[in-house]
Chains A and B, each alone.
Chain A
Amino acid sequence: MLQSELNKIRDDILSISGVNPRKCMCCGKCSGTCPSYDEMEYHPHEFVHMVETGDIEALLSTKSIYKCLSCFACIERCPRQVEPAKLVEAVRMVVERQRGPQHLEAENVPEQLDDDMPQQAVVSAFRKYRK
């Protein structure tokens, strides 16, 4: 991808998230408290650093964007109010909005269901795995 395209995407990520990654003091608390840490290729502190330095191409293809639980732990516990989860979400939105097929297609929903699964799981998955 051209650097100019990446710069444009970086601007989008900053504006969609409302995050200022320069506030980060690199303490690592966001990743230390992340309940999905073991599932992620890139961790919350890396999202902050990579967006800050413009090194975003790898973020656009990582499955880590689907591992964030939106539990607000990193948002709550960041001592500098950087709010890393908002960056993870913004990268996910940029990826989902660009692609043709969605990460989760409606016809693949029934196979995930069982008799007890709450509607809440389905609507949340739709919100997080699609545009």
Chain B
Amino acid sequence: MSEAKHSTYSYFPGCTLRNKALDLDRYARSSAEALGFTLEEIPDWQCCGGTYPLAKDEIATKLSSVRALAAARDAKQDLVTICSACHNVIKQINNDMQTDDNIILKVNNYLKEDKIAYHGETKVLHYLEVLRDVVGWDTVKAKVTHPLTGKKIGAYYGCLLLRPGKVMQMDDPENPKILEDFITAIGATPVMYSQRNECCGAYTVFEDKTIPQKRSEKILANAEEQGADLLVTACPLCRYNLVKNKGKSRLDIVYFTELLAEALGVKDKVPVGMEAAYAAK
């Protein structure tokens, strides 16, 4: 959105970043302060549902995302997400609200009661896109005080950050480099491995733990063979599945924001306005 103030963003943390993935949220906020942009949490945001509703006649399951998108539009801000699932769901629903007349009509009919009319005006950015496209890798590099020199890091994209590529438009879905560029910017060495954009098994962990187990073992073995010391991810469920199925693998699996905060020297800093949530840590 052209009139958007690029230093302040509407921020949709999502259910997991305010619960089990506090580190992903906390280090994103403190790193944003260090890099000079502000994340303003959308008031009363509602969970995105975790999985994009693929069925064309699913309307109610899209409303929470549209409410967040409309709130960002009304604040004249771009909408920033960090969790891969939130990003995937909200960006795909924003695309529906730009392109699918049937969904646009029915969603807006539902939202009349909330006095919301929305037609896909908001720009949705992943935190990594803010780093790449607004802050810039050179600036990130310049602000690094504790470079992770010598660390060999595998980027684990998983599925939701990149696909479907035509809608997500973050990077080349089959040959991405945004996380590798991130790893380079914080002073570490990216390690390439073929499983970096294949699925971890996702929510099937809820029903059949052998699916994420088989997937995770394959991903970890592949990254280890290629020489990685650790993996970075933006997705709490990827991290959960990989950590739970680590077995004898030497790899740690960490959120990209934790490494960013470490490199920027702000890992111990409590983000402004978040004292109650993070002071105890």
Binds B, one of A2-10, A21-29, A41-49, A70-78: A70-78
In whole angstroms, how far apart are the Cα atoms of A90 and B55 in the complex?
6
Q: Does A18 contact B (CB under 8 A)?
A: yes
Number of interface residues of A (CB under 8 A): 37
Give the CA-CA distance A93 to B51 in the complex, in Å. Answer: 14
Q: Which of B20, B57, B206 contacts A116 (CB 8 A)?
A: B20
Residue of A nearest to B218 (CB): A35
User: Are A35 and B240 in contact, with the CB atoms below 8 A?
Assistant: no
Contact A122–B206 (Cβ < 8 Å): yes
Number of cross-chain contacts by CB at 8 Å: 131
Q: A67-B211, A72-B164, A73-B159 known; A118 and B49 CB under 8 Å?
A: no
Contact of B240 among A67, A86, A121 (CB under 8 A): A121
Min Cβ gap A100→B in Å is 19
Are A123 and B206 in touch, CB under 8 angstroms? no
Q: Which residue of B lies closest to A70 (CB)?
A: B51
Beta-carbon nearest neighbor of B85 in chain A = A120
Chain B hits for A120, CB < 8 A: 14-16, 50, 83, 85, 203, 235-237
- Chain A residues positioned under 8 Å from B265 (CB to CB): none
* Contact code string A93-131 (vs B, CB < 8 Å = 1, else 0): 100000000001000000010001111111111011100
Most buried by A among B15, B49, B50: B50
B163 an interface residue at 8 Å Cβ cutoff? yes
Minimal Cβ-Cβ distance residue in A for B211 = A39
Q: A residues engaging B (CB < 8 A)?
A: 15-18, 35-36, 38-39, 66-67, 69-73, 75-76, 85-86, 89-90, 93, 104, 112, 116-125, 127-129
| Interchain residue pairs with CB less than 8 A apart (11) | A15-B57, A35-B199, A39-B208, A73-B199, A76-B173, A90-B55, A118-B16, A118-B20, A120-B15, A120-B236, A123-B47
